[in-house]
Each structure stands twice: as structure tokens, then as C-alpha cells.
Structure 1
Amino acid sequence: MNDKKFTMTVMAIFAALTLAIVSFNYWMDPLWNFGHAHAYNDVQIVTDEREQKTANQQYVSKSANTLLLGSSRSTYIHTTGFKQWDVYNYSVANLSMQEYQSMMKYAFKQNPDFDRVILGVDFFKSSTQEASAPRSIANYEAKVDKPFYRAKNLLSYDVFKYSLDNIKLSSSDDISRDRLYNRQGNAFAKKLSEEETFKQTVNKITKFEDTFYGEHYVYFPQYKKVMTNVLNTHPEAEKLVYTTPISTELFKALVYTDLLDEYEIWLRDLVDVYGGVWNFMYPNEVTNDINNYYDGHHFYPEVGDLIAARVEQGESAEVPKDFGVYVTAKNVDDHIKYVKKLVAEFQK
């Protein structure tokens, strides 16, 4: 083979391999840059939810009338759990309260027709340690807005590896990790045995006690100010707020590290800013059952469906009666007394 033929052969092989990778990456779409769905991409790994969901909004048209923002806990609230509202779930892992505003602005930029915004709030994220650093979605917005963003991803070998992971998981419909998505943007978690659940819960309680609670927790003094800014962002849209329901075992750790007063301040501040908040974070029928959680911290999607029903339908929702109380200025005192009474019972 002469040099010319050799060069042409190498170039042809390279072109064929490149075309194969591009075609496979497009077909699998692991970064959610396109809208197609099929049986072999219906289980999707998490690469970076901020990038995946930000790009998804920019490049795949949406018709939702409700925006949901929250942390990894809120990723497990399925949009199908809402019966009257068409919801887009823009929740991401390790969300800082400082990110709500920029994420809301970005989402409305892509879809100005949102009628309401649902905000999932986590108590441990109200600490100075977790809330003080300024954070926004700006870097991700700039990244997905770059010229040829999608084309570069199709040529990426890393994206190719994500595609391989997804086709393996989708072929067997294998939910084998703590968070995997379907093509509708709904997250799922591996179901654990009772022994595994107990171990995960103990580990999570230890982490919270060592990292987030006790002396590590100092209530962020600017919390109300930041949340007021969120309220005033796109004021034409209704704002609905709910607290994420941690397991009662993890709630006990909060109490035993002397943070019940800060919990009360947090609830009262949310009521002051928003006029009312759906509180799920206290001992109740759902939170008392550790098997409703992957690790005592993240609930399973079945619990997410209950939250969706309560927030959307209020008191008429078909959920456990004691799961979710709409706390306002009128009943906040009584609600705090009720929670303290429950606390007193497990302190006996």
C-alpha cells in the first residue's frame, strides 16, 4: 500500500469511528441536549444536573406552567405526581439557597409562561456554613450557550462513556444507584433492604452531626433577605414553599444537637416572607417509617408523590392526614407547640 492509500485508509477509518461516536452520542443523548426517547435511553445517569437541566431547558422546548426548584431531595418529586399542574423540575444536588434566584431567572428566560414557582427548602441549608457563599447558575448558563456546545458534546469521548453506561442500564431497566433519571426528568433511587437502609441512615445521621448540625450550625443572618429577593423575582408568578421531610431519626439528631430553636426561627422566617409554608419536616406517619428513605435524608419517589399531592391539592389530597401542615401567621404558634409536643414524646 502506497503512502497515499495508507493516508486515505487511516482518514476513512477515523471518519467512520468519529461518525459512529457522534451518532451513538446523539441517539443516547446522555446530557439531555435533545428531546428524543426510546427503550435504550430511558435510564439516565447523573453527570452534572446543573448542566444537564440547564441545557435541556435551552435546547428542548418546554410547555410547563409550574417551575420546581430544590435540592437533591426534591429531584425525587416526580412531575407526574402533580395532576393539575404541568411541572418542570429544575432541582439539583447540593443546592444552595443563593442559587434559587439565578435558576429562576434562567428558567423564566427559557419559558416566560410559568404561572407559579414551587420552592423546596432544607433546614440544614439555612446555616451560615451552607448559605453564605454566593452561588449562581451563571457559569452553566454561559457554558451551554457557547457556539457549537451540542456539537462538541457529540464528539466527546467522555460523553461516549456516559452513553455506554446508559445503554447498559436501560437495556435491563436497572435502577442500581442512588439517583437515576428517565427521559421525563423524573429521578429514581435503588430500593434498599432493611439492613442496608439502617446502615445508610446511621451513616447519614453521623455525617449530619459531624458536618451540619450542632456547633457547625449557625443560622444564616441574611436568610430572610435572600428569600425575600427570591419572592420578588418574577413577582407575577405565585410562590409556593415546602420544607423537605427528613426522617424522624434524622430529625431527632437535630433536636439532640440543640437546634430546635433554630428550626423554629427558620419556620417563622419562611412564614414572614412567603405568608405560608407547607411544613413536612416533623415527626409524622411518613417520616416515622425509615423505609420511606434511601438514607434517612433522601426520600423515595413515592413520598415525593405525596408531597406533590399535598402542595397541589391542599387538605383534600389523599395523603396521610398528619403529613404536611400549611403554616401561616395564624397557626404558627400552635404548630410549633405541636412539634415540641412530638419531640417531648420521643425524649421520654
Structure 2
Amino acid sequence: MNGINAYELRRYLEHAIANQKDLDLVILGSDFFMFNSLLENRAGFSEDRLEKQHISLKDIINIAFSVDALSASKETIVDSKKNPPDDIVSGENGFMPYLNPNPETTQWRFRNGINVYYNFHAKYELSTPLDELKKIVDLCQQNNIKLILFISPSHATQWEAIRATGEWSTFEEWKREVVKITPVFDFSGYNSITTEPIHNEMENYRDNSHYTKKVGDLILNRILSYQEEEVPEDFGIFINSENIESHLTKIRQDREVWAKNNPDEVKLVEETKQKFDEKISGKINKN
């Protein structure tokens, strides 16, 4: 579920519970961005689809008879006769579990991803208290579901983008608010995974916010206590109200070391922010 806000997340969980009566474990990846109160519901979100076991009449009509559906069907037929592109790896049953993007575009993908962050979150208002997270925790408790929450491990440049928008203190406050509600595994920060240098043959990231299957497996290993010897010691720290302040202090210290050793990546984030600000300023002046 890409780019959703906390309300959408809670509603999708309610939908899952309504349709899976034997659900007993929820592993939830959370991030700072979904708690931006300025982030609206995605265009494709629809309450009419939730907590039902059938497709709504409106969706059936849109799928079967709309101009978009006819156009998409035509494109599917045409594309099916072509050879699949080399950069897509198809899994079983037609799933495409991951992409193999052109390694020579890595720098562009990171710059573009950072710019996307600025477009959506240059203005940020933390929705405190974290009511939706509290509802999710209560929902799981009421339905005897074990909830494991983790903070996703975006690349270090993503954390620098937060700093560039002046929201680092808000980012820390968000974590403080989270642990008031529930403990959480924190995979963010400047650790041995998130600080992988940006280069053409990256193992951990496709861009600044999307990590690879390898990293996803490490996350699961940590939170499920499985083959933990394969997980770097600094990746996935279990935090609560007792150790949150020392944890935040450690991240600040790690950031200083990383910034000193990676000036080009700091510059990438700052230059992208400068160009974004110039673009916004130009639009304002035109109006």
C-alpha cells in the first residue's frame, strides 16, 4: 500500500479483519509520512469497497464498461504480443515481485525520489495525538491479534530530506508519541543498511525510500527472531518509553559521522531541496 495515510491504513486493517476471521498476526510497517495530517486519502481509496466480500456495483460497471477499461484491455492485448522488457522479473502466477532497474539511472532515481518527498511533505503537520495508531493497537487487542510494529528503513538520504525541510525535531517527536502507545522496532536512522553509499550496483535500495527483498528479509528475521545472526546488530532496535531518548541521541550521533563521511550525498539532498524551493518560488511569482 504505497503512500497511504494512517486513516487509510486503519481502514484496510479493519477490512482484513472483517474478511479473515482467523487473523492472529499483523506485521505493520509504519513511517513518519503517513502521520502527516496534510496528506489526503489517495484518489483510489473508497469506503464502499471495505469490509465487504464482494465487488461493488459501481466498481463492476467501471471495470467492465468504462472507456478506461476498454482502453486498458486494448493495451493489454497489444502488450501481450510483445516480448517482456528485460528489466522486469516475473514471479509465479504473473506476480512481479521486484524490478531490476537500469543501474546507470541510480543517481537519477534517488534525486527523483527525494524530490517526490519534498512535493508531498515539504509542509508537514504531525497529527498528534496519534489517534489512528491508537485505534489500530486497540483493534488488534480487541480481536486477539498480535501486532508487531516497525519503522521502515528508508535510505539515509530520506532522513536528510526530513532535516532539509526543518522537520527533524518533529520526526523525533513522532517516535516519542509512537512509543507512548506501543513499543516498536526502529529500522530507521543511520545504520549499516541505510547508509549504503549510492552507486550503480546497490544491494539494499532501488531509490531513497524503496528497499530490496534482501532488506525485507532482514526486517522479518529481526522482528520474528529468525536467523538473527544474519541481521546486522545495529539494524532494527526495539524501542519503548524507557530507551527512546538514548536511542534518539544515538541516531543524532550516527548522523554526524555519516554526514562527515558522505558529503556528496548530503549535497545531493541539499541541492535537490534548493531546486525544489526555486521551482515553488517561481510558481508563486507567476501568480
TM-score (norm 2): 0.73
CA contact (8 A) 2:187 2:236 kept: yes
SS of the residue corresponding to residue 278 of structure 1 reads strand
The one-letter amino acid of 1:270's match is V
Larger Rg: 1
Where structure 2 has 5 or more consecutive residues not aligned to the other structure, the ranges are: 261-287
The match for 1:139 is 48
* Distance (Å, rounded) in 1 between the aligned partners of 2:3 and 2:181: 23
| Equivalent residue for 1:325, pick from 232, 237, 247 | 237
Residue by residue over 1:53-90, the C-alpha shift from the partner in whole angstroms, topping out at 9 and shown as x without a partner, is xxxxxxxxxxxxxxxxxxxxxxxxxxxxxxxxxxxxxx
Classify the secondary structure of the residue corresponding to 2:100: coil
Cα deviation, residue 106, structure 1: 1.2
Give the C-alpha shift of residue 146 in structure 1: 3.2
Aligned to 2:217: 305
Q: Which runs of 5+ in 1 are unaligned?
A: 1-91
Give the Cα–Cα distance (whole angstroms) in 1 for the partners of residues 56 and 16 of structure 2: 18
Deviation per residue, 1:251-297 (Å, 9 max, x gap) = 112223322211111111111111x1111111111111142222211
Distance in 2 (CA, whole Å) between partners of 1:163 and 1:347 is: 47
> Judging changes above 3 Å, is the alpha-carbon distance between structure 1 residues 143 and 93 closer, same or farther for their aligned structure 2 residues?
farther
**Per-residue deviation, 1:332:** 1.3
2:160 is matched with which residue? 252
Paired AA for residue 204 in structure 1: G
In the TM superposition, residue 148 of structure 1 has moved relative to its aligned partner by 11
The Cα of 1:158 is off from its aligned counterpart by 4.8
Residues 140 and 147 in structure 2, CA contact (< 8 A), matched pair in contact too = no
**Residues 328 and 131 of structure 1, relative CA distance in 2, 3 Å threshold:** farther
- Matched pairs, number: 249
Paired residue for 2:99? 189
Percent same amino acid at aligned positions?
Answer: 20
What residue number does 1:293 align with? 205
Query: 1:226/1:321 Cα in 2 relative to 1: closer, same or farther (>3 Å)?
Result: same
Q: What amino acid sits opposite 2:207 in the alignment?
A: D
CA contact (8 A) 1:309 1:317 kept: no
Q: 1:278 to 1:95 in 2, by over 3 A?
A: same
Q: 228, 242, 259: which is aligned to 2:150?
A: 242
TM-score, scaled to structure 1: 0.62
2:36 is equivalent to residue 127 of structure 1? yes
Correspondence for 1:217: 124
> 1:81-230 to 2 correspondence within 5 Å?
92-130=1-39, 137-141=46-50, 144-146=54-56, 157-158=70-71, 160-161=73-74, 163-164=76-77, 167=80, 172=84, 174-176=86-88, 183=93, 187-193=97-103, 195-213=104-122, 216-222=123-129, 224-230=130-136
User: Counterparts of 2:108 and 2:156 in 1: how far apart (Å)?
Assistant: 15
Pairing 1:34-113 to 2, within 5 Å after superposition: 92-113=1-22
Q: Distance in 1 between matches of 2:78 and 2:28?
A: 32
Q: Deviations over 1:68-126 (max 9, x none)?
A: xxxxxxxxxxxxxxxxxxxxxxxx22211101222112112211111111111121222
Query: Once structures 1 and 2 are overlaid, which stretch shifts more, 144-153 or 325-334?
Result: 144-153
Q: What is the match of residue 43 of structure 1?
A: none
**Counterpart Cα distance in 1 of 2:77 and 2:259:** 50
Shift, 1:149, TM fit: 7.1
* CA gap 1:309/1:150 in 2 versus in 1, 3 angstroms: farther
Contact 2:39 2:120 in 1 (8 A): no
Give me the whole-angstrom Cα distance separating, in 1, the residues matched to 2:40 and 2:70. 36
Q: 1:109 to 1:119 in 2, by over 3 A?
A: same
Partner of 2:139: 233
Q: Contact 1:97–1:131 at 8 Å: present in 2 too? A: no
Task: Report the equivalent of 1:264.
Answer: 172
Shift of the 331–278 alpha-carbon distance from structure 1 to 2, 3 Å rule, reads same
Q: What is the aligned partner in structure 2 of residue 60 from structure 1? A: none
Tell me, yes or no, if the aligned pair for 2:49 and 2:56 is still in contact at 8 Å.
Answer: no
Residue 231 of structure 1, CA deviation? 0.9
Quick check: 1:102–1:136 contact (8 Å CA) kept in 2? no
Instruction: For 1:316 and 1:210, locate their aligned partners in 2 and report how far apart those are by CA, in whole Å.
Output: 37
Q: Write the distance in 1 (CA, Å) between the matches of 2:57 and 2:119.
A: 44
Report deviation, 1:317: 5.1
Shift of 1:152: 8.8
